Amino acid sequence: MDERIRELKSRVQPGDRELVHGVLQRIGDKWSVMAIIVLAKRPRRFTELLDAIPGISRRMLTVTLRQLERDGLVERVFHTQPVPWTEYAVTDMGRSIREPLATVLEWVLDHREEILEHRARYDSSQITALDSRS
Amino acid sequence: MDERIRELKSRVQPGDRELVHGVLQRIGDKWSVMAIIVLAKRPRRFTELLDAIPGISRRMLTVTLRQLERDGLVERVFHTQPVPWTEYAVTDMGRSIREPLATVLEWVLDHREEILEHRARYDSSQITALDSRS
DNA sequence: CTGCATCCACCACGATACTG
DNA sequence: CAGTATCGTGGTGGATGCAG
């Protein structure tokens, strides 16, 4: 593991810190991951995405799709036949990011109980600290 | 890959969506990953972390450490000998999250050029769109 | 239908003064 | 040394009106 990290570190170039953090922020935002997951099943049009991603607003769907499009994870295809419409689809790169995402998901599922236990313990200790303060 | 995703999905329980998103947000925030990386090398005291993480404020260091502590990724140890002081260290779980993080890092490095190319292309197309609008 | 523009609420973060 | 408290600011996201 430490070996792997050293190996990866040797590949990091000057501007990569910002890039890495940018990607981490993207997958940490509210809708990007969901959009990629939904689009990975099959391409959709704007309104279909609105329905397929419960709770998202038109604004955030637009913003999210533009960001993903900018990075090349999603592409927007314009059709004219039979009637004009827009279709969104994941690119190969967009599809490939599900791999690291799955690794994160797996880690969370593996440590689900441990995290929740720690939170419960931490929160209750904070409450008692507050109690003794009053 | 799709097979792996299906397998992981079968393990997802009702409340896990929030939990997963919470973890993604944490690794997407500005300082958590850096704090874990620094602490993984060796334990540090508060002021050492302040120096080891360039640009972080005392406030954000406190906030970040408390969140990581709450989730059980970092532990705070109080010493009394020879003089009272505080020491922070990563837990086994905190150490283990470097694995999925490394996977994400690897993906970013693998797609560094492609992402930057897409951004450059997207941005220049936006500029021309703005030009034709004026 | 597919957006973009605007306004607003909230939260993350930074600067800084203060405390045991 | 190791924080906490307070304030200010920018960014993220939601609601909604308008347009091609």
Closest CA to A5 of B2, B25, B98: B98
Backbone angles phi, psi at A18, to 5 degrees: -65, -40
In this prediction the pTM is: 0.94
Q: Are residues A87 and A102 in the same domain?
A: no
**Beta strands at B74-79 and A85-90: parallel, antiparallel or unpaired:** unpaired
Rounded CA separation A37/A35 (Å): 5
Q: Residue B19: its chain A contacts at CB < 8 A?
A: 108, 112, 115-116
Nearest nucleotide relative to A61: CA against C1': C3
Beta-bridge partner residues of A87: A77
Q: Are residues A55 and A34 in the same domain?
A: yes
Quote the number of domains for chain A.
Answer: 2
Q: Are residues A108 and A85 in the same domain?
A: no
Nearest nucleotide relative to B61: CA against C1': D3
Q: Are residues A65 and A20 in the same domain?
A: yes
- Sign of the torsion formed by the C-alpha atoms of A6, A68, B55 and B53: negative
Checking if the pLDDT of A134 tops 50, the result is no
Q: Are residues A61 and A103 in the same domain?
A: no
Residue nearest C15 (alpha carbon to C1'): B57
Per the CB < 8 A criterion, the answer to whether A96 and A51 are in contact is no
Q: Are residues B38 and B13 in the same domain?
A: yes
Mapped onto helix, strand or coil, the DSSP state of residue A43 is: coil
Q: Please give, rounded to a whole number of angstroms, the shortest distance from the CA of A74 to a CA of chain B.
A: 11
Give the pLDDT mean for B23-44.
98
Q: What is the torsion angle, in degrees rounded to the nearest 10, for the CA atoms of residue A104, residue A110, residue A116 and residue A117? A: -140
Rounded CA separation B7/A106 (Å): 10
Residue nearest D3 (alpha carbon to C1'): B62
Nearest to B100 among A93, A98, A107 (CB): A107
Per the CB < 8 A criterion, the answer to whether A104 and B24 are in contact is yes
Q: Do A72 and B108 touch (CB under 8 A)?
A: no
Which three-class secondary structure string do you get for B22-80?
A: HHHHHHHCCCHHHHHHHHHHCCECHHHHHHHCCCCCHHHHHHHHHHHHHHCCEEEEEEC
Q: Are residues A76 and A11 in the same domain?
A: yes
Q: Are residues B87 and B109 in the same domain?
A: no
How many Cβ contacts (< 8 angstroms) between chains A and B?
A: 135
Give B72-117 pLDDT, tens digit per residue. 999 999 998 888 899 999 999 999 999 999 999 999 999 999 999 9
State the residue range of the domain holding B14. 2-92
Q: Are residues B56 and B102 in the same domain?
A: no
Checking if the pLDDT of A82 tops 80, the result is no
Checking if the pLDDT of B123 tops 60, the result is yes
Q: Are residues B112 and B60 in the same domain?
A: no
